[in-house]
């Protein structure tokens, strides 16, 4: 097998291992979080945090688009072009964050407090979860150019290690939740934000 074929095979194996590890750890983590939060808080987190997470599909599209431009700059071999493309990409993503914050803090907050059915004693907690979820989403948007750069450079092992570290951190958060007896919902939202 030639050098290029070995590189492709290695990257494929690494990405499949990443997918299997993250899938297994995520399934186990979900079970622990459900036990720790309870049905009501778990549901609130998924509804409130899920509204924001619903838009995380945009991250995949943004990563692909950014990766395409970075790959093109790498292919040109222009040492000046790559940092320029990366900087423009970073600036674009900060602009997207400004738009996300504008809409989520106006329309999203209004929708949360007006239309989503939340138990009376949990409204403050739901709003805190919403704020932490928005902040976590903003950090995910900032991360997009860096992820795209890693993928464009074909450093799949780094990408896999970072993904695995993220799910292991979420597993640790799930275990940590079991040590606390009150405000687990807000603590969980904060720790997920902190881990992003």
CB 159 within 8 A of CB 150: yes
CB 137 within 8 A of CB 52: yes
Counting every residue written for the chain, the total comes to: 196
pLDDT band at 52 (very low <50, low <70, confident <90, very high): low
Angle at 146 (CA atoms; ends 143, 150), nearest 5 degrees: 135
Q: How confident is the model at residue 156, as a pLDDT? A: 83
Cα separation, 82 vs 107, whole angstroms:
37
Question: Residue range 168-195: average pLDDT?
Answer: 91
* Least-confidence region, from 6-10, 17-21, 45-49, 118-122: 6-10
- How is the chain split into domains, by residue range? 3-195
Eight-state DSSP code of residue 182 = S
Number of H helices, E strands in the chain: 7, 0
The 10 Å Cβ neighbour count of residue 95 is 10
* Least-confidence region, from 15-19, 22-26, 75-79: 75-79
pLDDT band at 130 (very low <50, low <70, confident <90, very high): very high
Whether 182 has a pLDDT exceeding 90, the answer reads: no
- 51: closest CA among 106, 116, 98, 101? 116
């Amino acid at each position: 097998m030639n050098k290029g074929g070995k590189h492709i095979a290695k990257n494929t194996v690494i990405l499949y291992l990443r997918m299997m590890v993250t899938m297994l750890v995520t399934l186990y983590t979900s079970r622990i979080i459900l036990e720790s939060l309870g049905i009501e808080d778990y549901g609130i987190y998924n509804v409130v945090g899920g509204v924001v997470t619903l838009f995380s599909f945009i991250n995949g599209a943004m990563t692909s688009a950014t990766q395409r431009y970075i790959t093109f700059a790498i292919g040109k071999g222009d040492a000046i072009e790559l940092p320029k493309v990366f900087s423009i990409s970073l600036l674009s993503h900060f602009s997207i964050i400004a738009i996300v914050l504008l809409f989520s803090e106006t329309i999203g907050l209004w929708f949360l407090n007006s239309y989503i059915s939340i138990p009376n004693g949990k409204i403050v907690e739901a709003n805190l979860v919403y704020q932490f979820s928005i902040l976590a989403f903003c950090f995910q948007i900032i991360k997009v150019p860096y992820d795209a750069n890693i993928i464009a450079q074909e450093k799949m092992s780094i990408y896999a290690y970072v993904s695995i570290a993220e799910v292991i951190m979420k597993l640790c958060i799930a275990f940590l939740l079991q040590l606390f007896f009150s405000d687990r919902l807000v603590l969980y939202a904060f720790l997920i934000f902190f881990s992003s």
